[in-house]
Each structure stands twice: as structure tokens, then as C-alpha cells.
Amino acid sequence: MSHAGEMTRAVWQARRVVWTLVRREIRSRYIGSSLGVVWSVLPPLTQLAVFTFVFSLVLEVRFGATDHPFVLYLACGLFPWLAFQEAVTRSATSLVDQAVLVKRVVFPIEAFPVQLALATLVQQLIAFGLLIGLLALFGFPPTIALLALPIFLALQCLLTIGCGWALAACHVYFRDTAQAVGVFLPILFYLTPIIYPDRLIPEVLQPVLALNPLAALVGAYRDLFLQGVVPCGWRELWLLVVSLAVYVGGGAIFARGRGEFADLV
């Protein structure tokens, strides 16, 4: 069994602990706040409003001949990006931040990036509920294609966890990892067609864009929510291959350095 498979089994065996961590993570965001769960939708809604104003009204970016407003196209890409960004950023420092638990041999430390990925996924689902409400508001009711949504959420989760495992392990050895992630993620954001249509990218750079799994993920979400179709082609196959490869590779990196984590955090 691969390292990722062993780690998956360990996380599953400790699923009650993982779920407890997820619930604690979600509750900790709202303890002492007056608005409570409203904070789940306020930050993504605020960013959605700002980007819509700047790129749709000021720069007049258009996604082509379509009846769907810009805000809907933007939401399909922005909401999963925010979840991915937060989970990956926080996973990078998760082992160092939880040094006390890392030193306890019996604790499944591979669960830290997993619980962060799941917690942000819950936030994303809440945001997607907002997106469905926006679709209905603009006269585009949800379609049966959304039944395939869990497939792409699972692929996103594999990609996020794999990145989290790899970065968490690297940060234990190289404390500049978190800073490097903070520099790289904004670049990746603009290399992913979230705030602009992929048709605006020069043709010579299209093959490069096709290598970005997040571009494939955003495109799949737009097909599900806006076009009402379940995407199934080379783009989705590439997303599947990359997600599995990152998950397995991240697990291997994490497992290789695991024996020294307790001494280095």
C-alpha cells in the first residue's frame, strides 16, 4: 500500500477525531462574534462584490455571448479558490502550529491538513448555497447536473490535501515554505481564469493554461452551475490524474519526513 493509502486509512480510523477537529475549527471562527455564521458568507460575498465592480463595471470584462451575468461566472471560480487558498496556506504551518500534538506519538498528525481541507470545504458549500440563490435570483434555477457536484468536490479535496501534506512536511524542514506559498498563491490566482475568461489568453499560452488543474476545476464548476451539464472530457481526465498524483505525492513527502517531525517542530 502506498504512503497516501496508509495515511488515508489512518485518517479514516481516526475519523471521529478528525470530525471533532473540523467542528472545532468551524466553531472557533465565530466564538464571541455577534454575527456568528454570517461570517461564513460575508467574506466571500464581499470579495465577490469587489471583483464584480472592478472587472465587470470598471474594466467591463465579459465572458462572451451568454445570458449569465459576470457575477455568476466569477462566483463559480472565486468560491472554490478561496477554500483552496485558505486550506493550503494554513496547512503549510499546521505541524509547527500544533507542535504539542505532533510530539504525541499516538496522535494522527496527517489529520491536520485533512481537517483544514474539510473545514474550508464546508465554508465552500455554504458559499455554493449562496451561488444557487444568486442563480435563482437571476432566473437560472439549479439543474440535475449538480448531482455530480460531489465528484468534483472530492477531486478538489484530494488536490488540497495532497498540497497540504507536502507543504506541511516541507515547512518543518524549511521555515521559508509558508512565505513562499504566500508569494506563489497570488500568482496562481491570476494564472487561473477566475476573474477573466480563458478566451482572453493568447493562443500560444493555451497549452500552459491547460496544465493548471485549478483551471480545469473552475471550468467544471461553471459547466455544472451555469451550463447545466456534467463535464466529461480530456480536461476532467487531466484534473483526475493530477489530483491523484498530488495526493499520492504529497502523502509520500509527508511520510518520508514524518520520523523527524517531533524533533524539529
Instruction: Single out the residue of 227, 231, 183 nearest to residue 215, CA to CA.
Output: 231
Could you tell me the three cell numbers for 164? 497540504
Is residue 80 over pLDDT 90?
yes
Classify 133 as helix, strand or coil. Answer: helix
Q: Say if CB 108 and CB 10 are below 8 A apart.
A: yes
Please state the pTM of the whole predicted model. 0.90
Each residue's pLDDT tens digit, 88-131: 999 999 999 888 888 876 778 899 999 999 999 998 998 999 89
Each residue's pLDDT tens digit, 45-73: 788 888 888 776 666 666 554 568 888 98
Report, as an integer, the average pLDDT of 229-250.
Answer: 94
- Under the banding of pLDDT at 50, 70 and 90, the label for residue 34 is low
Q: Say if CB 73 and CB 140 are below 8 A apart.
A: no
Is residue 255 over pLDDT 70?
yes
Could you tell me the three cell numbers for 21? 477537529
Could you tell me the three cell numbers for 114? 485533512
For residue 227, give the DSSP letter.
Answer: I
User: Which residue ranges make up each domain of the chain?
Assistant: 3-264
pLDDT value at residue 105: 65
Instruction: Single out the residue of 2, 3, 8, 15 nearest to residue 158, CA to CA.
Output: 8
C-alpha distances in angstroms, 2 versus 23, 177, 253?
A: 29, 25, 12
The type of residue at 219 is G
When mean pLDDT is compared across 27-31, 64-68, 199-203, 233-237, the lowest value belongs to 64-68
pLDDT value at residue 31: 60
pLDDT value at residue 252: 93
Q: Which residue has the cell 498563491?
A: 185
pLDDT value at residue 262: 77
